[in-house]
Structure 1
């Protein structure tokens, strides 16, 4: 799905300013990690390490292969600048881009000792994004008592491409989820190395938003990620793909390989050697829709089946969605913003993947163009929310660990210039609060905004530490039990009027 870019329309000069500040900071003592020694920077009570390799560059003959071991280096590597973003077609990412992109970043309090670890997986629809986005700077979050790690993973045609010859050369006979395998490799690196930075490898929490949240679902479902993390948080992430049997987003190995071969033939390069000889630009010129693939190794089945057979990585789960992200997601999911009365039923069916009932259409009417637009936005939000609540319910029903759910309705301070995406409580609006990164874009942040940022950062760190979002000075948060009453509302009374979700019966596929 081509969405999930909220809070990412950033100017390149902001990243350059951040890099310049890093260069001026004091160097840290060398730290030994896989591959050699690194030195980061220290500013006050915070240490920062940027551009740390967790796998070999996936270039040349390694293009599309599973991530390979880090290439060792001599001397002390200066981990002081972000690595390039992974090669991608997203024009809203202005950072330099390269296939050589498998690097991570670390923020650690200077006197850290056995602190919980938060590993952030960025969104971007699997076709865009980077860990170097200014909003993902982990320094303020780390100051609340955690080690924060952000990572890059392969995207688009380089991260989600299957081909019969790729599967044949793979030791496990599968291809297509290179980006997810990169995330798993990064988690292995964290398990092996994070203690050197004062982190506890037995308290690792994976956190992601949107496609990053979808990635969290994939990690929960994947046997290859077993024992690499102990808690999971997904912000606006529609679980692993597919969510349930018959989910129209499902792509199996055979279909994925056939799609990959057809793509290659369209380029006049049906064989793997020919594809590996092509330039990045030539491979990215044709349209490619990246999706996670049920190829039998990283993902074996839909998430519902995984849970029913108790095959998930059973860890405490915290998931949630925002009050107004439907207006951001609907045009990207449906591929159009032409929400008219004439097309209303057609677009509802396309969104859901099945013919809607009269009862559903009555709940989301479209007698006029204005009504159709409002209904599509709300339906998208509700459908998204139900998928997330459904996932929380799977964990509550079939897991030993608890699940928690939230609904974020707070309206952030308005930007000084018109906002086009992720506005209000839109898609990704919660990220700046979770990272405690208010103030980067000149908004007139209120006391309520700053208090909420402190609260959510503390909540995420508390969950990473204990497996529960409840703690001293934090609100009570009940475990999810399948009811709207167990969803924590985040926002004022006026902001929460649109909640709760409709009944399960409206979406029969999600009636677990």
Structure 2
């Protein structure tokens, strides 16, 4: 089953710094030279910091290369372009020259004597074809105020980030291709390890965090041998199509199939060799259809993730994972490739989602005798199936790891705008604005409970980043996941139903 894991489309304008009480920061030395950002008195912000060389020309599709040094003090006060080609809903500048990250660091009275802070590195979603670190929702300033250094990063997308080809595989030192976007994430984590202390961060307390395709990226990084030592905790929100639940799901990870797909793309584009593809413009390449997906390339990933976890070959770190109460209304049409959910095609759609024919028990729990019933059931089944995948990961962790796992179910209904569509309600990505304590990125009739919950979640996420445990004094106890529904932490109370996960075991 292939899931594009789209990031919720909650906004398209780039984030902007507040226009008050700003001053330039003193120069900070990082890989490549010195940078200066903006200081509001509470948080220092550095935008568009390069962590690798521009992957253009001969570097197109190669692994990320070392940062190109600069002279003088580089102003890091504006966001970089988003990685091309990107999704149509993101109208900001898009470029292949996009390997930049952003840093928000709490101001400290005496930085030399201050204790190093935990670090949270955010990996955006968007199905590996859309999104950017500079979306307004991902402004890390408020989250940083809770006591962490926050980093958001770009990584190559679409045809530029997930392209395998035999000629490319042959020319690269590691004899692999297809996971350039994941390699970018790893390069950014190396930058964090080497430089984050200069911003008050602790390079030995790094948490990787992502949603949707970003959450799937987290699962991959935890499984990848290249991630060893680069992070100490992992958070994945509503994103884990990376752990195959059955052998049939391994097909889209196959390297041979990925290289064959790359050859077919090359032929359709009118290119005889890799040289010809590199000579083509971004616009020409972007016209050709491409479905990006990470693969088992023998370098970033040596095997499918389920096998890695079952044999305890993952990076053994605490994980915090979960999903939202209404993922299905956003994800079902995308996963299934249709929104025509009717009684007539109900059984077939269930089989397509599950990867196997539905059992009688599933058909009883998710009935489709009428079109209205079928529509509601498919949405609910998709949501529960998505949740089961997150629980499946947590169970693998529980059974094959020395580290703890925590699971949440986000069931708080946010304040809504009229005519709200994708991502509204408790849909895909609804939790992000609370985790970033950034409700004011858009105008909604936020309630006191919305704001209280935003404070609580960002506190819990920072606590997890600091200690590997999301509990804080005065907050309700969040128990370690033991495989039961009772150990899944409910956030909010809008939905009182948790799925019977035993139904989903293939």
CA RMSD between the two structures: 1.4
Aligned to 2:441, what secondary structure does the other structure show? coil
CA contact (8 A) 1:412 1:425 kept: yes
User: Which residue number corresponds to residue 73 of structure 1?
Assistant: 70
1:357-396, aligned counterparts within 5 Å?
Answer: 357-396=359-398
Residue 299 of structure 1 and its aligned partner are, at CA, apart by 1.3
Deviation string, structure 1 residues 135-171 (Cα, Å, up to 9, x no partner): 0000000000000000000001111110001100111
SS in 2 for 1:361: helix
- Residues 221 and 240 in structure 1, CA contact (< 8 A), matched pair in contact too: no
Q: Give matches, 1:26-425, under 5 Å.
A: 26-111=23-108, 113-238=115-240, 240-242=242-244, 245-247=247-249, 250-415=252-417, 417-425=418-426
In 1, distance between residues paired with 2:471 and 2:429? 23
> Residue 446 of structure 2 aligns to a residue in which SS?
coil
CA distance in 2, matches of 1:130, 1:185: 17
> Aligned partners of 1:508, 1:500: CA distance in 2, in Å?
16
Distance in 2 of aligned mates of 1:27 and 1:241: 45
CA offsets 1:468-499 (integer angstroms, 9 cap, x no match):
0112222201111111000000112xx132x2
CA gap 1:21/1:91 in 2 versus in 1, 3 angstroms: farther
TM-score, length basis structure 1? 0.95
Task: Please give the residue correspondences for 1:414-493 in structure 2 after superposition, counting only pairs within 5 Å.
Answer: 414-415=416-417, 417-492=418-493
Question: What SS is found at the alignment partner of 1:336?
Answer: coil
- Greater mean alpha carbon deviation, residues 179-188 or residues 302-311: 302-311
Q: What is the CA deviation profile of residues 421-470 of structure 1, one whole-angstrom value per residue up to 9, with x for unaligned ones? A: 11111100000000000122211110000000000000000000000011
Q: Deviations over 1:115-139 (max 9, x none)?
A: 0000000000111000000000000
Alpha-carbon distance in structure 1 between the residues aligned to 2:411 and 2:331? 16
Residue 25 of structure 1, CA deviation: 2.5
Question: Which 10-residue stretch deviates more, 88-97 or 377-386?
Answer: 88-97
Q: Deviations over 1:268-308 (max 9, x none)?
A: 11311000011111111121111110111111222221112
Q: State how far apart, in whole Å, the 2-side matches of 1:48 and 1:243 are.
A: 41
Give the equivalent residue in structure 2 for 1:500: 498
Offset at 1:19?
Answer: 5.5
SS at match of 2:46: strand
The verdict on how the C-alpha distance between 1:233 and 1:11 changes in structure 2, with shifts beyond 3 A counting, is closer
Give, in whole Å, the separation in 1 of the partners of 2:122 and 2:463. 16
Q: Residue 86 of structure 2 contacts residue 157 of structure 2 at CA under 8 Å; is this kept in 1? A: no
| Per-residue deviation, 1:11 | 4.2
Q: Structure 1 residues 363, 249: closer, same or farther in 2, change over 3 A?
A: farther
Inter-partner Cα distance in structure 2 for 1:322 and 1:19: 30
Distance of 1:232 and 1:110 partners within structure 2: 25
Deviations 1:307-331 (A, max 9, x none): 1211000000000000001110001
- Name the count of aligned residue pairs: 499
* Aligned residues of 1:192 and 1:201 also touching (Cα < 8 A): yes
Q: Deviations over 1:388-416 (max 9, x none)?
A: 0000011111100100000000000112x
Q: TM-score, normalised by structure 2?
A: 0.96
Contact conserved, 1:58 with 1:100, CA < 8 A, in 2?
Answer: yes
**Following the alignment from structure 1 to structure 2, what is the Cα–Cα distance between the partners of residues 268 and 185?**
32
- 1:189-219 per-residue CA deviation (whole Å, 9 max, x = no partner) reads 0000000000000000000001000000000
Answer whether contact 1:241 1:250 (CA < 8 A) is retained. no
Cα shift at 1:243: 5.1
Bigger drift between 149-158 and 245-254 goes to: 245-254
Question: Do the aligned residues in 1 keep the contact of 2:323 with 2:387 (CA within 8 Å)?
Answer: yes
1:107 is paired with a residue of what secondary structure?
A: strand
User: How far apart in 1 are the matches of 2:88 and 2:423?
Assistant: 17
